[in-house]
A and B are shown apart, each in its own frame.
Chain A
Amino acid sequence: MTATLTAARSFPRSFDSLEDIFAFTSEFFGRHGVDRDLLPTVDLVLEELFTNMVKYSPDGAPTIRLEMGPAPDGVEVTLTDYDVDLFDVTEAPDADINLPIEARKPGKLGLHLVRRLVDSLQYEYSTERRESRTTFRKTGARRPA
């Protein structure tokens, strides 16, 4: 990631932050000429990761930091969450999408979708700082099969 081109901002740990996050991504895409066809996917991945942090770490720091930088043919995004327990999003089990409708329940699809939509997904956790960093990359090279 090219540091000088990276945009960063912290957002309150609240579902109400989504609108501001989407405005942030849209503004970044416009400023850096990133293919807008990627925007719904980047927003979706961000929403899933961010709302997971809001839901499952309510006692974390008041804000969650978002960094976005250009990558070849796309973007790389990092979410840093402070004062939280370890939760490795790369290890969460997939949803069973083959269940009949009677057995399907809302939920569990977020990380399932994230893993299928991004080029790469990394999770780092510092036990000393109780800090998680989740980084994903989305480029035009990775189109759904």
Chain B
Amino acid sequence: MLAMNFGGDGEVVISGRLDASQCAAALAFLEKVNGTVSLDCRGLEYISSAGLGVLLKTQKRLAGGGGKLRLTGVNRHLEDIFRYSGFDQIFEIEPAP
């Protein structure tokens, strides 16, 4: 199950599991944002390569307009996945405390 909402500071709050079956919904939500946006990942338990594709598409679109997607509250498992994918080179990543 995946849930996405806007937080009080305009950030996108994502929770649950971003697997292949949830990608269309996640991409549709992220298409609503522009500029520089934080994605609060504290509740994100799981991401697969299909989910990484959604983040990459969003980052490329935002970068085209001078913005970016910042990933915050990233847990250790997700941090490993981002590092193995080279996403630590193309995203600003803030680990969970």
Chain A residues, CB < 8 A from B57 = 106
CA distance A71 to B37 in the complex (A): 43
Check: A109 CB closer than 8 A to any chain B CB: yes
Q: Which of B35-93 contact A (CB under 8 A)?
A: 45-50, 52-54, 56-57, 59-60, 63, 77, 80-81, 83-86, 89-90
Q: Is the interface of A mostly helix, strand, loop or mixed?
A: helix
Check: B25 CB closer than 8 A to any chain A CB: no
Q: Is the interface of B mostly helix, strand, loop or mixed?
A: helix
Q: Interface size class for chain A?
A: 20 to 34
Cβ-closest chain A residue relative to B80 = A144
**Minimum C-beta distance from A50 to chain B (A):** 9
Cross-interface CB contact of A98 among B19, B21, B56, B86, cutoff 8 Å = B86
Q: Which of B4-26 contact A (CB under 8 A)?
A: 17, 19-21
Question: Which residue among B48, B52, B60 has the maximum number of chain A CB atoms within 10 Å of its CB?
Answer: B48
Chain A residues, CB < 8 A from B48 = 44, 47-48, 51, 110
**Minimum C-beta distance from B1 to chain A (A):** 9
Instruction: List the count of A-B residue pairs having beta carbons below 8 Å apart.
Output: 75
CA distance A23 to B82 in the complex (A): 25
Given contacts A47-B20, A106-B56, contact A113 B49 (CB under 8 A): yes
Query: Closest 6 interchain pairs by CB?
Result: A97-B86, A106-B53, A110-B49, A109-B49, A144-B80, A101-B90
| A–B Cβ pairs within 8 angstroms, 9 of them | A15-B21, A16-B21, A18-B20, A41-B77, A51-B50, A105-B56, A106-B54, A117-B80, A144-B83
B residues at A contact (CB < 8 Å): 17, 19-21, 45-50, 52-54, 56-57, 59-60, 63, 77, 80-81, 83-86, 89-90
